[in-house]
Structure 1
Amino acid sequence: MNTERPINPRFDDDLHFNLVKPGPPRYQTRTEKPVRYFEVADRENGLVLGYVWAGDEDDAAAWEPRQAAGPRGLMEGLGWFNRLEKAKGRGIRPSQAIEEMLAEPATGKFGRALPDSLTDAPNAAAVKALAKGD
């Protein structure tokens, strides 16, 4: 009696791997290098919803929601993140991306960029600490 099992035809062919195409280009979301950032405030009551920051040295930029803004800060980030993704797709530096955002401040779902709030921070962690602590 033969104890060998028949080969399943699915496993008889060579193994093939399909490469998954990476997503759209994105800026780095962390940096220890200096960054510039601005506030995004609610259009109606002026509550700061979060911060958009950017640093050219590490090709980094991101949205940092303000903890005190709660879910609205998180929701607001979708629009700003989308704008950053599109800017990276066009191949522009992070600093240019935030300059464009400041030139067109009222494009968020709930908020608008505050051009007079543009300032420097030592790194992205400082902006994150600001968002958590105020």
Structure 2
Amino acid sequence: MTRFDAATPTERRKLFADAITAHRKRNSPFLTVEPGELPSDADEELIPWIQFTEKTFAMDCTDAELDRLKSLVSEFPEFRIESLDSPDEAEGTHARISARSDANRLASFMDAAFQRVYGYDDTFTAWVVAI
């Protein structure tokens, strides 16, 4: 891979698909994607992230974000929420989603998750921060 950020829906999905392909070819432990900044109406001060490893997405969510994530996963029949972990010391839930699909479908889910779960508009910039 030679580029690590993108700011339009088409560019982001291509970036995500390329990063997933690179992750698989390198047999790396995980792939991590973050947006460049918080959405303008964010309640939290933490920038969200999505990790992908083998055939699983991992992400942290507030209660409201978790409801939106469940709705999004229901639109991807080949994806399943495998576990939801809410430790007492945490203020949210760590979700693990099994995702058995091709790189383009995985990329579409990742882009939709940033927009629909975390509230980013379609012009946000995403960064591949680890492969």
* Higher relative contact order, structure no. (Cα contacts within 8 Å, ≥ 6 residues apart): 2
Report which of the two has the higher share of strand.
Answer: 2
In the superposition, the TM-score normalised over structure 1's length comes to 0.38
In the superposition, the TM-score normalised over structure 2's length comes to 0.39
